[in-house]
Amino acid sequence: MTTVRGKKLTSKEAARLLSVSEASVKRWADSGLLPTAKTAGGHRRFRPEDVAAFKRSGVSEQNLRAIKTEFAARLRENAPEPAELDSEEALVEETFCALLNGRAEELSALLVNLHLHGQTVAAIADRFVCAAMRRVGDLWHKGELSVAQEHVATRTAMSALQNLQAVMDVPEENGLAALCC
């Protein structure tokens, strides 16, 4: 691959160079392991030299698991204790507001809090995230939200769900779990 001086790589290009999935690259960027910059549209871009340095560092899967465990512990510590669980409608509204305003950390804390208080990941996705995203889609369809606002909401949902994935319990029999959106 030839690079133009100063050209930054997309997540897909960085993933190809590192022989990993785009999700791994995005997770490493979000956790600060892989330096990144954001475009005006909010997309991640990577300097080729940073990707090369990351590859040379030889980050092992064991190190990455330890980092994921530490990240999950921080999410758990920062999840606010609810005075009482709000009504489902109020939680959907809170999810919607966080999505629309791009508050991924706030939404992550809410989703982790719900999970820590007994909600399954499937229920969180179906009852709260999907309901709020459906509202985003409906408002976009009516012309009440811009494409940019819809993109912010989508990126926020994906980021929060990736953070929720960090605290998911993975079955011991095969160590695999899937969280798709």
Residue of higher predicted confidence among 108 and 86: 108
Position 120 in a domain: yes
Position 181 in a domain: no
Assign 108 a pLDDT band (cuts: 50, 70, 90).
Answer: confident
Q: Which of 85-94, 106-115, 149-158 has the lowest mean pLDDT?
A: 85-94
Position 148 in a domain: yes
Position 16 in a domain: no
> In CATH, what number is assigned to the domain containing residue 158?
1.10.1240.10
Over residues 77-103, mean pLDDT: 76
Reported as a single tens digit per residue, the pLDDT across 9-42 is 898 988 888 877 888 788 788 777 788 888 888 8
Region for residue 79 given its phi and psi (left: phi exceeds 0; alpha: psi -120 to 50; beta: otherwise): beta
Position 48 in a domain: no
Reported as a single tens digit per residue, the pLDDT across 59-89 is 655 565 666 666 666 666 665 555 445 688 8
pLDDT at site 141: 94
* pLDDT over 80 at 4, yes or no: no
Q: How many domains does the chain have?
A: 1
Position 70 in a domain: no
Average pLDDT over all residues of the chain: 79
With residues binned 3-state (H G I as helix, E B as strand, rest as coil), the percentages for the chain, rounded to 5, are: 60, 5, 35
Domain around 104: 81-167
Position 136 in a domain: yes
pLDDT at site 83: 42
* pLDDT over 60 at 58, yes or no: yes
Task: Tell me the CA distances in angstroms from 82 to 79, 94, 156, 179, one per residue in order.
Answer: 9, 13, 22, 25
Position 133 in a domain: yes
Provide CB contacts within 8 A for 129, sequence distance 6+.
95, 111, 157, 160, 161, 181
* pLDDT over 50 at 48, yes or no: yes
pLDDT at site 53: 81
